Amino acid sequence: MISDPADLATKSTSELATVANDIRDFLIRKVSRTGGHLGPNLGAVELTIALHRVFHSPHDVLLFDTGHQAYVHKILTGRQSDFDSLRQAGGLSGYPSRSESEHDVIENSHASTALSYADGWAKAFALRQSTRRVVAVIGDGALTGGMAWEALNNIGSAQDRPVVIVLNDNGRSYAPTIGGIASHLAVLRYEGNRNIFEDLGLAYVGPVDGHDITDLEHALRKAVRLNKPVVVHCLTRKGKGYAPAEEDEADRLHAIGPVGAAKKRSWTSVFAEEITAIGAEREDIVCITAAMAEPAGLAGFASRFPERMFDVGIAEQHAVTSAAGLAMGGMHPVVAIYSTFLNRAVDQLLMDVALHRQPVTFVLDRAGITGPDGPSHHGMWDSSILPVVPGLRLASPRDPANLRELLREAVDVNDGPTVVRYPKATASDDIPAVRRTGHCDVLLESPGAQVLLVAVGPLAAACLEAADELRSQDVPVTVVDPRWIAPIDPCMLKLAGAHRLVVAVEDTTTPGALGGRIAQALAANGSDTCAATFALPPRFLPHASRAEILRAHGLDAAGITTTVLKRLEALS
């Protein structure tokens, strides 16, 4: 198989077809074993081969949007031997990674960003009088994001800065692409009339068969000769060459787990069941997704209540402000989104929802450590950032029953935003409470306890296990689940003040974490209780399984036990 892009230059048309077939077979075999993004890469094989024959990476800059379609690029740039470690701890990233190869210039998994990167690269090359080319491969789904159009507005206005935009149009992001742009591209596929790209000042080449390497090369070389901003419109089929992917109507096997992996009940499935039940009870409940109805658990709701389900495309900022408008109109919107993607709409949450005290519920899937998708997907920022939003209530359920309960409490709030967060993980067994004080659940009470473990969300099980170990070492412990972690419940502070040491355990970043906020509140009340944060370091963490990452940072039972004992020793 090809191990250097330069090797492609010597291949005949028939040999290139063989290379494409070999790459598809390789992807199916390897990704089925490790898990990963299969469908998008099967559809980008010939396109990536043609790109590397026409352009010369890394001299020419190749950008992929989104980065999950870059597996073929990794293969062609010498990383095929690493695919057995794909998305494993210490192994090959599932996205472009600057630390892996000089051929990867950005680390991106969030959609709609590559054209802005391309605009910046092109400006830099123009200022430095460089002859290097800039090529951005963007999926049609990513064009539903507003940031892509902000970039096109700039790129199209600079005729002297040639940027080649390769539109990989397979009609899908996860599911079929929706909205006016999707409809416009559908017309272009068959009619080729004057189009929106030309109106923005870009040349247009296509549509071209995205699985014909010869046609692709002709189109790309034509784009180079034009020496101006140009869109090359390539028609591809997601999952091409693999019947199970081509026949999968949901998402063309967009992302798969390892073959043979047992299907377990997920937090997402619990949410999916409960939001559908709530929707049946309340006609004011509407749901919003940013192109991720199935992954975010809204497929059932959409099937049952299609008129109350809104897919806005990969447009998180628009989703949040649209939700504010829905709330102003008398509905109660539920925005189901990955935690990492809410980062993109914090301004809208703050100024468009919270400032207007609108009742919008945000359900953050993949909160905390997510695992194999790596630093761009870890949802470790939300519970550090969101507590600063005035009037916002933030909940972190410990088990499925608690998720159902907190979701219902959230949608009952009518004077401001609410957030419910949960991880990408198997849903645990329900953990009963000894009693409730205020909004908090006391999970364990030990006579004479001087230590209070504040167990945030799904880390409750590890805290209870640590409490058992500490008790065996004659350290009695109280374990409490705050349920709502912002704002801090006064009953939580009263309980904390009755202990010598309080340790809040959570999978968010240390700055802004609950432990620090408890310490600040206790100090303001004049308490001499020592409160500490036990969370994740404020840095980007690599990919590995959720369990491996939590264990590496001491957020398992053994690590919690050790931390408590060290803290007690420091106090003595």
Give the pLDDT of residue 172. 67
Mean pLDDT of the chain: 92
Annotated binding site for Mg(2+): 140, 170
Q: Rounded to whole angstroms, how far apart are CA atoms 572 and 563?
A: 14
Mean pLDDT within 61-90: 91
Mean pLDDT within 467-471: 96
Catalytic residues: 238, 316, 344
Right CATH for 5-256 from 3.40.50.970, 3.40.50.300, 3.10.20.600, 1.20.140.150 = 3.40.50.970
pLDDT tens sequence across 538-558: 999 999 999 999 999 999 999
The reported pTM is: 0.82
CB 253 within 8 A of CB 245: yes
Helices (H), 390-527: 400-412, 460-472, 490-497, 514-524
Contacts of 119 (CB under 8 A, 6+ apart): 151, 154, 155, 161, 163
pLDDT tens sequence across 391-416: 999 999 999 999 999 999 999 999 99
- Number of C-beta neighbours around residue 25 at 10 A: 13
Give the pLDDT of residue 192. 66
pLDDT tens sequence across 250-287: 778 777 777 666 667 899 999 999 999 999 999 999 99
Q: Comparing 166-175, 429-438, 536-545, which segment has the lowest mean pLDDT?
A: 166-175
CB 457 within 8 A of CB 450: no
Annotated binding site for thiamine diphosphate: 68, 109-111, 141-142, 170, 242, 316
* Residue 57 pLDDT > 90: yes
pLDDT tens sequence across 12-44: 999 999 999 999 999 999 999 888 889 889 999
E strand or H helix at 40 = helix 39-42
What proportion of the chain, given as a percentage, has pLDDT over 90? Answer: 73
Contacts of 171 (CB under 8 A, 6+ apart): 140, 177, 182, 185, 186, 238
Q: Comparing 28-32, 136-140, 372-376, which segment has the lowest mean pLDDT?
A: 372-376
Q: Rounded to whole angstroms, how far apart are CA atoms 79 and 97?
A: 12
The Cα angle at residue 413 between residues 412 and 417, in degrees rounded to 5: 130
pLDDT tens sequence across 485-512: 999 999 999 999 999 999 999 999 999 9
CB 339 within 8 A of CB 363: no
Q: Three-state SS for 286?
A: strand
Mean pLDDT within 231-253: 85
Q: Rounded to whole angstroms, how far apart are CA atoms 68 and 314?
A: 15
* Residue 175 pLDDT > 70: no
Specify the domain boundaries for CATH 3.40.50.970 within the chain: 5-256, 267-421
* Residue 193 pLDDT > 80: no
* Residue 191 pLDDT > 80: no
Q: Architecture of 435-571 per CATH?
A: 3-Layer(aba) Sandwich (3.40)
Mean pLDDT within 284-295: 93
pLDDT tens sequence across 207-228: 999 999 999 999 999 999 999 9
* Residue 455 pLDDT > 70: yes
Backbone dihedral region for residue 378 (phi beyond 0: left; psi -120 to 50: alpha; all else: beta): beta
* Residue 433 pLDDT > 90: yes
Roughly how many angstroms between the first and final C-alpha of the chain, as a whole number? Answer: 63
Give the pLDDT of residue 183. 83
Give the pLDDT of residue 127. 86
Give the pLDDT of residue 267. 95
Mean pLDDT within 424-435: 92
Q: Comparing 90-104, 189-203, 306-320, 428-442, which segment has the lowest mean pLDDT?
A: 189-203
Give the pLDDT of residue 261. 64
* Residue 371 pLDDT > 90: no
* Residue 363 pLDDT > 70: yes
Mean pLDDT within 48-55: 96
Give the pLDDT of residue 492. 94
Q: Does domain 267-421 fall into CATH 3.40.50.970?
A: yes
Give the pLDDT of residue 131. 92
- Which is nearest to 421 in space by CA: 453, 383, 455, 373? 383
CB 348 within 8 A of CB 308: no
E strand or H helix at 251 = none
Annotated binding site: 68, 109-111, 140-142, 170, 242, 316
CB 311 within 8 A of CB 287: no
Specify the domain boundaries for CATH 3.40.50.920 within the chain: 435-571
E strand or H helix at 395 = strand 393-395
